[in-house]
């Protein structure tokens, strides 16, 4: 799949799914900026991408960071064609055990940050025109204990996807959401330590396995490509059929 010379910003691009997405875009010919809170992993990814990559450290939960990140990425890449909102916060605990900081972090990182980034990227995206891909989650629509803040914030991101598809479509900007199921990254390591949780998950997954970051990156690249030029406002499940 060719995405030659597309300029792409991937948030949460230093590890896990974001890292895999960034590398996949670069392999498809794109120029890629990776952002995130930790500078060291971002610099490592940028080195791996070579001349096609750059690092833009930033924390989306802080006000004003989105505009700075868009400016830095657009300047380094010569514009912006694709924005992938992958950065996420995953507070996993019963509500009674979540602090105010946990609650705010979930919504600031998973919903408010992406909205601010899309807003500040609009001038660049409408000049191309552009593509926005929000990374959601299957648990946005599944009731599970211990993930109330995470699920609610990801459902907010889904609805923002649909609203923005309607709002930005006349500008030529497509907005979609890719919703992974349980994917083998650092985020699920605590769950892997609980065999009963993994058995329950696999029993509810028709494909019979956890996802890999590459499973998600292939879908993201397809949605970003011109093959999906007539698709907007959709939530595309990438979960092996989890809880169908």
Dist. CA 52–CA 73, nearest whole Å = 12
Residue 191 — pLDDT band, cuts 50, 70, 90?
confident
Q: Which residues pair with 9 in a beta bridge?
A: 33, 83
- Mean of pLDDT values over 35-49: 96
Residues with Cβ within 8 Å of residue 131, at least 6 apart in sequence = 81, 82, 83, 125, 173, 174, 175, 176, 223, 224
pLDDT at 52 over 70: yes
Which of 51, 50, 53 shows the shortest CA–CA distance to 18? 53
The per-residue pLDDT for 1 is 62
pTM value is 0.95
Which domains, and CATH codes, for the chain?
Answer: 7-237 (3.40.50.720)
What mean pLDDT is reported for the chain? 95
Confidence category of residue 28, pLDDT binned at 50, 70, 90? very high
The dihedral region occupied by 243, where left means phi > 0, alpha psi between -120 and 50, and beta the remainder, is left
- For residue range 131-179, list pLDDT tens digits in order: 999 999 999 999 989 999 999 999 999 999 999 999 999 999 999 999 9
Tokens of 161: 């996807």
Q: What are phi and psi of 115, to 5 degrees?
A: -60, -45
Provide the annotated active-site residues: 150
How would you class 216 by CB atoms within 10 Å of its CB: exposed for 0-12, middle for 13-18, buried for 19 or more?
Answer: buried
Among 6-15, 26-35, 59-68, 113-122, the least confident range = 59-68
Q: Which of 66, 71, 81 is nearest to 32 (CA)?
A: 81
pLDDT of residue 29: 96
Q: First-to-last CA distance in the chain? A: 29
Enumerate the β-bridge partners of residue 83. 9, 132
Tens digit of each residue's pLDDT (9 = 90 or more) over 56-78: 999 988 899 999 999 999 999 99
pLDDT at position 244 is: 85
């Amino acid at each position: 799949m060719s995405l030659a010379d597309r300029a792409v910003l991937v948030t949460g691009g230093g590890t896990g799914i974001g890292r895999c997405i960034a590398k996949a875009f670069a392999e498809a010919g794109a120029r890629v900026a990776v952002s995130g809170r930790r500078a060291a992993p971002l610099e490592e990814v940028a080195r791996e991408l070579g001349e096609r990559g750059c690092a833009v450290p930033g924390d989306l939960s802080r006000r004003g960071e989105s505009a700075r990140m868009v400016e830095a990425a657009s300047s380094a890449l010569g514009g912006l064609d694709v924005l992938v909102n992958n950065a996420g916060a995953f507070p996993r605990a019963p509500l009674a055990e979540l602090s105010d900081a946990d609650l705010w972090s979930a919504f600031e990182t998973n919903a408010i940050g992406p909205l601010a980034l899309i807003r500040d990227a609009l001038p660049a995206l409408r000049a191309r025109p552009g593509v926005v891909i929000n990374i959601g989650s299957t648990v946005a629509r599944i009731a599970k204990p211990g993930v109330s803040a995470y699920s609610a914030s990801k459902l907010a991101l889904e609805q923002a996807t649909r609203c923005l598809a309607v709002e930005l479509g006349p500008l030529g900007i497509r907005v979609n959401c890719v919703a992974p199921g349980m994917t083998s990254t650092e985020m699920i390591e605590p769950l892997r330590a609980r065999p009963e949780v993994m058995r329950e998950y696999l029993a509810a997954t028709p494909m019979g396995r956890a996802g890999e970051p590459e499973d998600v990156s292939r879908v993201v690249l397809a949605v970003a490509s011109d093959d999906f030029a007539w698709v907007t406002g959709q939530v595309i499940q990438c979960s092996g059929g989890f809880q169908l």
